[in-house]
Amino acid sequence: MDFSKIFFFVFACFLALSNVSAAPSPKWKIFKKIEKVGRNVRDGIIKAGPAVQVVGQATSIAKG
């Protein structure tokens, strides 16, 4: 199994946990922290998308 499949599975699990809309009780702030981290990761991936595409294109050009 290659790294991308493992990364996708872990990322999907992380997003599923971060999208918990209702915590069992108000005193559990861990879900809000997980949700905030999930949003930050999602936003970071969205912002890094164009840079990753450029690196991929440069790699394919360098290989010929």
DSSP per-residue string spanning 6-64: HHHHHHHHHHHHHT--S-SSTT--HHHHHHHHHHHHHHHHHHHHHHHHHHHHHHHHHH-
- Percent of the chain whose pLDDT exceeds 70: 78
How is residue 1 written in tokens? Answer: 């199994």
Question: Is residue 35 predicted with pLDDT exceeding 80?
Answer: yes
Q: How far apart are CA 32 and CA 44, in angstroms?
A: 18
Q: What residue spans define the domains of the chain? A: 3-63
pTM of the prediction?
0.40
Once rounded to an integer, what is the mean pLDDT over residues 50-59? 81
**In this structure, what is the dihedral angle of CA atoms 57, 14, 20, 44, given to the nearest 10 degrees?**
-40
Question: What mean pLDDT is predicted for residues 14-29?
Answer: 65
